[in-house]
Amino acid sequence: MFGLGKKKIVVASPFAGQVVPVTEVPDPVFAQRMLGDGFAVIPEEGASVVNVCSPISGTLRKIFKTLHAFAVVGDDGAEILVHIGLETVELKGEGFTALVESGAKVTVGQPIISVDVAAIRAGGRTPITPVVFTKNGQVSDVSITDSHPSMAGVKVATARFA
């Protein structure tokens, strides 16, 4: 009753940058929450190379072959996708370096992929990075708790399990 007892998930920023609602991502698949609810982070303007970290503790379920995204299953069962930049799959891994292998246990704030953000921008792509809960119906809502420029591993959002 009144939402009491509903489990909450605390999510950290994957890197330093400005946190925005997922509805502000300039891609309809993310903005319309087709992949799930969440938020996005825009790297700092002067950022050159960024280590993209795990937003939760759990198991690194998958690093995509082109290194543009990874999925983590949290210790609490949350399933989160971190998609580094938009249209970055087209780079076929260029400018991305995996720092951890799929299947590894990870902790919040642990670097997963290093990315050349300057190259993404130079190629005309946006480095905005959506962080979304991908398990259909898993969370009822996501609240950004800190939209100010944040650091990697710092709590920026809370989600409630549905």
Active site residues: 83
> Which residues in 119-138 are b (16+ Cβ under 10 Å) and which e?
bbbeeebbbbbbbbbbeeeb
